[in-house]
Amino acid sequence: MANSSFGYVKTLAAADIATARPQVEAALKEHGFGVLTEIDVAATMKKKLDKDMAGYLILGACNPGLAWQAMACEPRVGAMLPCNVILRQLDDGVEVSAVDPAASMKAIDNADLERVAGKVRGMLEGVVGAI
């Protein structure tokens, strides 16, 4: 697993999105997340712009208890939720990346929110590490 300035990244070799997705969803569930939203970016770009691109799926992951805590700290934090997990098709596999909520929440000056984001950070790091 690699870290970037805004999240965690891991490549699943010799996989495609259809086979990687159940593994990612199982890891999310194991770490207390559910999938609230799904955006098939490749299909949307084809439909809206008639542009082809490699598979690109965004899963909006949420831990309801921690989302509740975050919203109690900062009611407008919903603009930054849920936590996005991306499955991107590569020539040799699927790249899975997850946002680092602690990095994204730095835009909001709120120590209580930072503590909640730190908990979520550890959980999402565990998700990417588990796949």
Q: Which tokens go with 52?
A: 């082809």
Domains and CATH numbers, the chain: 2-130 (3.30.310.70)
Tens of pLDDT along the chain (131 residues) come to 776 767 899 999 988 999 999 999 999 999 999 999 999 999 999 999 999 999 999 999 999 999 999 999 999 999 999 999 999 999 999 999 999 999 988 889 899 999 999 999 999 999 999 99
Omega cis (within 30) before 22: no
This prediction has a pTM of: 0.92
The answer to whether 12 touches 23, Cβ cutoff 8 Å, is: yes
How many Å apart are CA 7 and CA 3, to the nearest integer?
6
Strand partners, 34: 62
- Can you give the pLDDT at residue 121? 94
